[in-house]
Amino acid sequence: MAQVVAIIASTHHPFYYRASTATGEDRPAFADEWVRKITAFRETLTRARPDVLVMVGSDHFHQLWLDNMPQFLVGKAPFYDANFYNEEREFGLPRMLLKGHEDLSSYVLREGIDAGFDLAFSNEMRIDHSITCPIITLRPQNDLPIVPIYTNIFAPPLPRPKRFVELGRTIRQLIESWPADQRVAVIGTGHLSLELGGPRQFGPHGPDPEFDQRAVEWISSGDIEGCLSEVTLDSLHSPGNATHGFMDFMLMMGVAGEGHKADYVDTYDLFHTMEAYFTWYPDGGAR
């Protein structure tokens, strides 16, 4: 059977690539420390030696729009074009081509439906920065096949937080029942408090530092029940108008399991957001 060798959750700041590659006067003051933190974070995936990556993210109205918005979607293509024109223009992100893992995608889709999730699928989709950013930060050589899983965090009616946790638990169970001798890392990206286009967007840190601190504690300690007792679709409006992306962090908590403390935790306060990085090793350490 397949083995989950690492579970990784992070934010996906689209400006990391530009900041980390800038030189001279164009290089921001915070870039060197950011690169140092990302380099250390990257090692948590490298030491797990995965064969395939299951990537959880959310489309930013690039591929999906209000005329066809699935709640949870599994990509099952052999290859994925990645990044859109506005991401190249605004963030300096490169065009990318990601290899898909069709066998695992098909298994997750079939068994996920049988487990009670009416998953949508796409045989042809383009990936945006919620998945390409963690490739750039964690696996810049882009040499591993992926299974992309998109969640709806933008277009109401949204699934409730508990459903995200349940999907995370199910993803873990499905991977561990997949009859293949493969080492799988599950990587998911979301947001802590986040404001987009609102009056709190461009502060010296995230719009709600108190929420950010509680969120980091919930994630790092594996306190799923405590998190669910406070986080609702309505409550997520208060920390910032785009904070519903935190539900993807809750999904990753579901993958890791109740009470499982993260083996690696780091954060970095940047303009308008706190960046956060977490890794769990299910067997207590990568081997």
The residues spanned by each domain of the chain are 3-284
pLDDT for 281: 98
Residue 264 has φ and ψ, to the nearest 5°, of -140, 130
Q: Is 52 helix (H, G, I), strand (E, B) or coil?
A: strand
Q: What average pLDDT score do residues 201-230 get?
A: 94
Give me the residues paired with residue 6 across strands.
Answer: 185
| 285 — pLDDT class (breaks 50, 70, 90) | low
Residue 162 has φ and ψ, to the nearest 5°, of -60, -35
Is the pLDDT confidence value at 88 over 90? no
Taking the C-alpha atoms of residue 48 and residue 89, their distance in angstroms, rounded to an integer, is 34
| 197 — pLDDT class (breaks 50, 70, 90) | confident
Cα within 13 Å of Cα(83), Cβ side: 21
- Between 53-57, 60-64, 139-143, the lowest mean confidence (pLDDT) is in 60-64
Taking the C-alpha atoms of residue 277 and residue 225, their distance in angstroms, rounded to an integer, is 21
| 164 — pLDDT class (breaks 50, 70, 90) | very high
Class of domain 3-284: alpha beta
* Token digits of residue 119: 């998953």
Question: Left, alpha or beta for 142 (phi > 0: left; psi -120 to 50: alpha)?
Answer: left
DSSP character at residue 139: -
Q: What average pLDDT score do residues 214-222 get?
A: 98
Q: What average pLDDT score do residues 127-132 get?
A: 92
pLDDT for 286: 61
Q: Is 117 helix (H, G, I), strand (E, B) or coil?
A: coil
pLDDT for 246: 97
Interior angle at CA 61, CA 54 and CA 58, nearest 5: 25
Taking the C-alpha atoms of residue 63 and residue 128, their distance in angstroms, rounded to an integer, is 8
3-state helix, strand, coil in the chain (%, to 5): 40, 20, 40
Enter the pTM of the model: 0.95
Q: How far is CA 38 from CA 35, 96, 150, 193, 267, in A?
A: 5, 20, 24, 20, 10
Is the pLDDT confidence value at 228 over 70? yes
CB contact at 8 A, 279 and 41: yes
CB contact at 8 A, 150 and 72: yes
Of the chain, the end-to-end C-alpha distance in Å amounts to 17
